[in-house]
Copies of this chain bind each other. A is one copy, B any other.
Amino acid sequence: MTTCITCLCPGKPILRERADAVLALVATEFPKVELTFHQQCFLEHGHFAGDDATRLDALVTTANDPEVDAVWFAMGGYGSNRIAADAIAAMGDTARGKTYLGYSDAGTLLGALYRNQIGKPVHGPLAGDIKREDGDDAVRRVLRYLSGQEVALEAGLDDRPTVAFNLMTLAMLVGTDMMPDLTDHVVLVEEVAEHLYAVDRLFFHVTAHLEGVAGLRLGRVSAVPENDRPFGMDEEQIARFWCDKTDIPYLGRADIGHDAQNAIVPFGSR
């Protein structure tokens, strides 16, 4: 059975050569996958892969297309929050049968889909991650997962419902009308390219909004810029500090992050 996957860019565009590398890998190794990059992925409108109306239309049309099995977010960056609410409102029954996979900025969409119980939101590598060291493996992992092959999920998943987010993306999502109810959920977070004082600040904000979760696990916090002074705590001390302060169980590290090892985390229960 063929799996039809459409790649979309709800935030920034993907470079053509990266899309071509993904297409080449599919052609060579996944004969039963039919993968398409929506033309929207290559548009440029300021920061974004096309203006809001164009990105919204691509997302809604694809979600409502009965020929498509899975939506794979090809790039993060920034911008899915500008179209998420309108997209959710325009999604019909067909959209409910699909898997939606990505992370980073695309987490806003995963969260909004999860809140509205539309389809199966999954945290995992972007198509654009093919650019990373070992990026081929990240792309293979997603293609195996989306085509129903056996693939290892994030190693710490248990019987509790789980979600995974970029920390900044989650911080901007909390308290909005796209934020899912995470009561009794294990929440995995990762971050990239933020100062440790900013990570601390985000933990302050996010933990204040996560009352009732089952616990928090910390993914990788990578590419931390050097500051004019040391922060004085590492990322795990920061996570423990805010979890302690807000009575959220700190449950250890998680195998997610802005890298090719970024593990797959299906939202919800196993």
> A residues within 8 Å of B by Cβ?
44-48, 77-79, 81-82, 168, 171-172, 174-177, 196-198, 200-202, 204-205, 208-209, 227, 229-233
Contact = CB atoms under 8 A, between A and B. Distances in A.
Instruction: Report the copy number of this chain in the oligomer.
Output: 2
Nearest to A198: B78
A234 B48 CA distance: 14
Nearest to A105: B201
B231 A47 contact: yes
A46 B231 contact: yes
Given A175-B175, A205-B172, A208-B177, A46 B78 contact: no
A201 B168 CA distance: 10
A44 B198 CA distance: 18
Contacts of A168: 201
Contacts of A230: 46-47
A46 B228 CA distance: 11
Nearest to A232: B46
A201 B81 contact: yes
Contacts of A175: 174-175, 205, 208-209
Nearest to A12: B229
A211 to B, nearest CB: 10
A233 B177 contact: no
B231 A200 contact: no
A112 B79 CA distance: 31
Contact of A204 (B77, B172, B201, B208): B172
